[in-house]
Structure 1
């Protein structure tokens, strides 16, 4: 049977322009954490304040995520995303001006928190749009795969762009640039004809169908919280690691290596058929991810740390993809967007906590301790989730007679491979939107 290509995806009428505008806006999520961290650190002189600012951004992003998703459904993507895009960009601009004027750390943290509230969910909305514009359901796995790989490329180039801007013009310029990119990309996306034609959702789920009430779903969230905690630790400790060696701009290169490893891992994972059940895969991948992160505490220099981060990335996308597939398997079809939002929330919550704690540890105990503590706490979480592997496997297994369980598990593609992205609309994590 013929297999649709990435080129076929982009040949869908209007798809290339729509996808391109979404990627422009989503680039802001690849630059916001690092530019915010470095701007606040340069203004206040402390990584504790910088970590608190990025942590506040992450926490409010997590808390507001379900509300933002409901707003997009209720009012339609054009109205909701335009408002969010304007307020998100304005909050980042205000934070940048605060850094330039040496505003109190508390004010910078509050402004960062406000920005997190209004971060527009362009990734989620773009994946919903793929399902709307695809002429054939068979092309959707390839569309989601293209989306996931492109996002990883954004998170490879984003930190590099921040590093370049920091080297040439300073961290605040990088923060201003992030605000501008977010506004332009969101506006272009919202004004596209396919987005303007998208109406509000009308399906209402019953309380017992909600993802959090499904057996096994909280276990997935626990594992993803551990994954997010490692990411948050890395995003704070890596800039501190390079600053200790008077090479702050190198932090962008190191974080880009993490994203590059994730892209490679996702491609390899998505083009192979895997026999182990999804529950087993999530356990193995999440434990391997945390184990590699612990090695970062032993890195003596930037080159070694870069190699470790690339290796860490190899497990990131596969872990998250597996979690999304499990979320599909555990929930009914009409609540899978909500399920994806909760998986993002778990990761982003972990990122926020990891960033805040790592900022304090960096200032008081150094980067080695920050890496070690982050890996230890994350290890406890993923092992706790791993202890429920059997129950999770039962909950996500197909029902007797071949019927899907709890809304139907996501099946591999017809050639036996696993899609590189989720089989329902969603986002890859790490505070990405």
Structure 2
């Protein structure tokens, strides 16, 4: 089976409305880092304040994703989606309207609220998706979700840049409008209802290897993103070529996600995730060793090709481990871990660049990410070999 997998998913009842909400939820998150930098600079004259707002948004999102994802496990998804996206819309609308007169603390608080309040929606919408599509189509369904999310992340910075030319507050206003549209569309989501609540004690015990995996993989790949301009200049190229190179990695990731979901692959999703994580580490590590630009860029594109399906496969493996009533919290925990891993990569790269250079920094971060990603997954393989899976995919 190839594209027929996707056709079945797209014919699932209510899936069109689900994708509409997904897009409205993802765009504000993807626009926020650059939009908040521009806004902070416009109203204070300082890019440092803009970075502070972006950092506050990201940290609040990471901190709140797990607890707020849990709300989607015990409440109807339409009502919860509408509530959190409505508050997010209000926070960003207030930020756009009152930014010129607010103190930095006020700007930071609104940016943090906008990041935190809807952070559980990532896992909540993913959990809803795997509840409403046929159980045997969850891999193509999650591949489509990853494809849409990756596409949004590719488009969002360009949209912010275009709007900011007119007024630095316009991107934040657009974020508010998109979140508001998502809140209205969320009320129309088709939801079979939250599953029966089970004991919560096993969530972190069962889910921590997947969360370590996402954090570690994003640590390794985040180092590429953050060190790429310096890497390019080291090869004698212009730093602004980082944009096209990262776009190429994004397109490769979309292709990888679609290829992964288009057919059934031998082995378990956990085995797929481990194989793909190995491919990412080898590609990035090799890019840190080659002596010329062309092969390095090709290897980074190969890492991008593996990245999106790797995260998809790991999400499917986690779903197999958790009961239905913990899917949203588990997916949200993975999302938060990925954000923390990316943020940690920024700190590591900042420290390593001046001491080792870009290629060594990228290689060391790739190795540092691969070890916990593969080690935690190996421990999960051992535990599942000893104890049969408790819950299965659950449909």
Q: Give the TM-score taking structure 1 as reference length.
A: 0.71
8 Å CA contact 1:56–1:109 kept in 2: the answer is: yes
Structure 1, unaligned runs of 5 or more: 411-422, 425-433
Deviation (angstroms), 1:83: 2.6
Against the structure 1 CA distance between its residues 172 and 366, is the aligned structure 2 distance closer, same or farther, given a 3 Å change threshold? Answer: farther
Which residue of the other structure, out of 189, 198, 203, is the alignment partner of 1:204?
A: 198
Q: Secondary structure at the match of 1:202?
A: coil
Deviation (angstroms), 1:281: 4.3
Against the structure 1 CA distance between its residues 371 and 204, is the aligned structure 2 distance closer, same or farther, given a 3 Å change threshold? Answer: farther
Against the structure 1 CA distance between its residues 252 and 280, is the aligned structure 2 distance closer, same or farther, given a 3 Å change threshold? Answer: same
1:334-345 equivalences under 5 Å are 334-345=325-336
Counterparts of 1:110 and 1:370 in 2: how far apart (Å)? 35
1:108-147 equivalences under 5 Å are 108-119=107-118, 121-134=120-133, 136-147=134-145
Against the structure 1 CA distance between its residues 328 and 294, is the aligned structure 2 distance closer, same or farther, given a 3 Å change threshold? Answer: same
Post-superposition Cα deviations, 1:278-308, rounded to whole Å, max 9, x if no partner, equal: 5554344334434545678899999999766
> 1:159 maps to which residue?
157
8 Å CA contact 1:155–1:256 kept in 2: the answer is: no
> 1:314 maps to which residue?
305
Deviation (angstroms), 1:375: 5.7
1:173 and 2:170 aligned: yes
Which residue of the other structure, out of 178, 183, 187, is the alignment partner of 1:186?
A: 183
Deviation (angstroms), 1:118: 0.8
1:267 and 2:258 aligned: yes
Structure 2, unaligned runs of 5 or more: none
Counterparts of 2:216 and 2:81 in 1: how far apart (Å)? 30
Counterparts of 2:18 and 2:272 in 1: how far apart (Å)? 34
Which residue of the other structure, out of 364, 380, 383, is the alignment partner of 1:395?
A: 383
Q: Secondary structure at the match of 2:153?
A: helix
Deviation (angstroms), 1:320: 0.7
Deviation (angstroms), 1:213: 1.8
> 1:25 maps to which residue?
25
Post-superposition Cα deviations, 1:18-62, rounded to whole Å, max 9, x if no partner, equal: 432432332223322332344435656666554443332222112
Against the structure 1 CA distance between its residues 200 and 55, is the aligned structure 2 distance closer, same or farther, given a 3 Å change threshold? Answer: same
8 Å CA contact 1:163–1:251 kept in 2: the answer is: no
Post-superposition Cα deviations, 1:54-111, rounded to whole Å, max 9, x if no partner, equal: 332222112211222232334423332223212222333444457656954x554443
> 2:219 maps to which residue?
229
8 Å CA contact 1:22–1:186 kept in 2: the answer is: no
Counterparts of 2:94 and 2:238 in 1: how far apart (Å)? 28
Deviation (angstroms), 1:192: 0.9
Count of aligned pairs between the two proteins: 392
Counterparts of 1:72 and 1:285 in 2: how far apart (Å)? 30
> 2:72 maps to which residue?
72
Counterparts of 1:339 and 1:223 in 2: how far apart (Å)? 13
Against the structure 1 CA distance between its residues 174 and 3, is the aligned structure 2 distance closer, same or farther, given a 3 Å change threshold? Answer: closer
Q: Give the alignment's Cα RMSD to 1 decimal.
A: 4.4
Q: Which moved more, 1:275-284 or 1:79-88?
A: 275-284
1:258 and 2:249 aligned: yes
Q: Pick the structure with more helix per residue.
A: 2
Counterparts of 2:359 and 2:50 in 1: how far apart (Å)? 17
Against the structure 1 CA distance between its residues 220 and 375, is the aligned structure 2 distance closer, same or farther, given a 3 Å change threshold? Answer: farther
